[in-house]
A and B are shown apart, each in its own frame.
Chain A
Amino acid sequence: MNDVCVVGTGTTEFGVREEGIVELGVTAVGRALRSCDVDREDVDALYLGNFVAGMLEGQETLAPLVADSVGLVGVPTMKTEGACASSGIAFRQAYQAIRTGIHDVVVVTGVERMTSAETSEFTRALGSAADHGTDGATGLTFPGFYGLVLDRYMHEYGATREQVAAVSVKNRRNGASNPRARFRSPVTVEDVVDSRLVADPLRLYDCCPAADGAAAVVLASADVADSYTDAPIPVLGSGHATGRSAAYRYDDLTTLEATTLAAEEAYDEANISPSDVDVVELHDCFSAAEIGDSEDLGFFEKGEGAAAVAEGRTAVDGELPINPSGGLLAKGHPVGATGIGQIYEVCLQLLGEHENQVDGAEVGLAHNLGGSGAVSTVTVLGGPSRV
């Protein structure tokens, strides 16, 4: 098995953007290639994560179109889809291809364009991630799924609405100093709990905003990584797991097994435990999701996640900084781009170059989740000294 490193990174800002979907992808890939000494002829393959370009843009065949547009002639390409985990899955596929010796250098990108869609088209496209025959038929939306999760969580663990709101407050504060974030203004607990109800008990400011954007990384076998960059970021572990297809499929709605299983695999491969992680970018599509994720990833005991965020333990200067980038709640959620966007932010932390730098970050974790807890990828990354 070959070790794998991130040798290049690139991204667009996330937000409301004018570029077409191919241009977004090409921009991120071009920046990732320019960030390192990888020549186009060194690249063996390109994997692209995307969720709704076919439905919203009428544009498919994205992976070969992006590859051709950046001058990657002849290489194999593919698109991966797993709703909000689409590019986390792309990263996983590239990682495995290098790990097993099939490829030496693979470009991975995630790309999405959402904000120009009509609201009805947009909700229909996003709703395609739910199981239409069961949850979908009742009219359960994505905020609705997490509304159910939070309803049960508060019932079981006695968490308060104010504690949950602290997630949005923290992430909006973090996003205010991240130039890649869609939302750059802070909010208060009162703003969150007074915002309009979307799916009880979730309110508007508990929900991440849609966004357009793209992010890309260049992955290389550790044997050749030094020839492409002075500061390779080793991938210490990777996990990818399937969870439950709908709300009724959970015995315990406060635990998403896709996350716990993917995390277990990634921790085992990295030979670390959750307490070894210095910085986390996790899938906070809703405030309630961050709390559940932080427990499912093993950072807090069941039922402690809400108090932990309210007490500041996950702030940039806390014991375990979670989403110093601002997370999906502030950066925005260009669905297919989110997974690589999270890995981009973690890489900046491990290089010591982040706007909200966590002091001495040596081990970082990125957690991507798709559908109603249907699929998750977890990636553990290390600082350059850990190659």
Chain B
Amino acid sequence: MSESPPRFPATRCADCGHLYGHEAYICRECGSETFAEAPLDGTGTVYARTTIRVPGSDQQGEEPFEVAVVDVGGEETVRVTARLEENPELGPDDPVEFVDRRDGVFYFRAA
């Protein structure tokens, strides 16, 4: 990919600076309820991956699809549970990049 991927929409605790991938309701570190947007570099790495072939009721008909735990952010990373756009070959330590967030779900693809 020659273009850099979209920024990843992380958030940061406004009080202690702790970084979050999935939104927190309250900061685990300091208890603050105030968060600020903190976009990160959209490049990441797969930590673990599975392919869902027997989905739950909300994903009937979408199978098979890949779900992964991904570390994203460049210098400073956050770990998120995400979908991988069709690439069953991806696995631990493979590079990925952020695509977008749809219906609250982060999507990544092979970098």
A residues whose Cβ falls under 8 Å from a Cβ of B: 120-121, 123-124, 127, 133-141, 143-144, 147-149, 151-152, 155, 196-202, 246-250, 253
B69 lies within 8 A of A253 (CB): yes
B111 within 8 A of A: no
A152 lies within 8 A of B47 (CB): yes
Contact with A along B43-80 (1 / 0, CB 8 A): 00001111111111111101001011100000000011
Alpha-carbon gap, A143 to B58, bound state (A): 16
The 6 closest A-B pairs by CB, nearest first: A147-B50, A139-B59, A152-B48, A155-B92, A200-B51, A148-B48
| A-B Cβ contacts below 8 A, count | 103
B71 to chain A, nearest CB (A): 9
Q: Which residues of A contact B82 (CB under 8 A)?
A: 138
A52 to chain B, nearest CB (A): 14
B91 lies within 8 A of A141 (CB): no
| Given A120-B57, A134-B81: A140 and B105 interface contact (C-beta under 8 Å) | no
Q: Which residues of B contact A149 (CB under 8 A)?
A: 48
Q: Which residues of B contact A121 (CB under 8 A)?
A: 57
A to B CB contacts below 8 Å, 18 in the list: A133-B22, A134-B80, A139-B62, A139-B83, A141-B56, A144-B52, A147-B50, A148-B68, A152-B48, A155-B48, A196-B53, A197-B51, A200-B88, A202-B50, A246-B22, A248-B80, A253-B47, A253-B69
Alpha-carbon gap, A108 to B1, bound state (A): 59
A139 lies within 8 A of B22 (CB): no
Q: Which residues of A contact B53 (CB under 8 A)?
A: 196-200
Q: Which residues of A contact B103 (CB under 8 A)?
A: 137
Q: Which residues of A contact B9 (CB under 8 A)?
A: none
The closest CB in chain A to the CB of B71 belongs to A248
A148 lies within 8 A of B50 (CB): yes
B66 to chain A, nearest CB (A): 9
B19 to chain A, nearest CB (A): 13
* B interface residues, tally (CB under 8 Å): 34
| Given A141-B55, A198-B53: A151 and B48 interface contact (C-beta under 8 Å) | yes
B48 lies within 8 A of A253 (CB): yes
Extra contacts besides A120-B60, A127-B56, A253-B47 (7): CB < 8 Å? A123-B57, A139-B83, A148-B69, A155-B48, A196-B53, A247-B81, A248-B22
B42 within 8 A of A: no
Alpha-carbon gap, A181 to B81, bound state (A): 35
A124 lies within 8 A of B56 (CB): yes
Q: Which residues of A contact B83 (CB under 8 A)?
A: 138-139
Q: Which residues of B contact A134 (CB under 8 A)?
A: 22, 80-81
A139 lies within 8 A of B104 (CB): no
A57 to chain B, nearest CB (A): 18
Q: Which residues of B contact A135 (CB under 8 A)?
A: 81
Alpha-carbon gap, A356 to B59, bound state (A): 41
Q: Name the residue in B68, B69, B93 with the highest tally of chain A Cβ atoms < 10 Å from its Cβ.
A: B69
B10 to chain A, nearest CB (A): 12
Alpha-carbon gap, A249 to B78, bound state (A): 10
B56 lies within 8 A of A123 (CB): yes
Alpha-carbon gap, A197 to B49, bound state (A): 14
Alpha-carbon gap, A49 to B12, bound state (A): 39
| Given A134-B81, A248-B69, A253-B47: A141 and B52 interface contact (C-beta under 8 Å) | yes
The closest CB in chain B to the CB of A199 belongs to B50
Alpha-carbon gap, A122 to B95, bound state (A): 36
Q: Which residues of B contact A139 (CB under 8 A)?
A: 52, 55-56, 58-59, 62, 65, 67, 83
Q: Name the residue in A123, A127, A248 with the highest tally of chain B Cβ atoms < 10 Å from its Cβ.
A: A248
B69 to chain A, nearest CB (A): 5
| Given A149-B48, A199-B50: A137 and B55 interface contact (C-beta under 8 Å) | no
Q: Which residues of A contact B54 (CB under 8 A)?
A: 141, 143, 198-199
Selected from A196, A197, A201, A247, the residue in CB contact (under 8 A) with B69 is A247
Selected from A120, A138, A155, A248, the residue in CB contact (under 8 A) with B91 is A155
B81 lies within 8 A of A246 (CB): yes
Q: Which residues of B contact A140 (CB under 8 A)?
A: 50, 52, 67, 81
Q: Which residues of A contact B62 (CB under 8 A)?
A: 139
Alpha-carbon gap, A120 to B50, bound state (A): 21
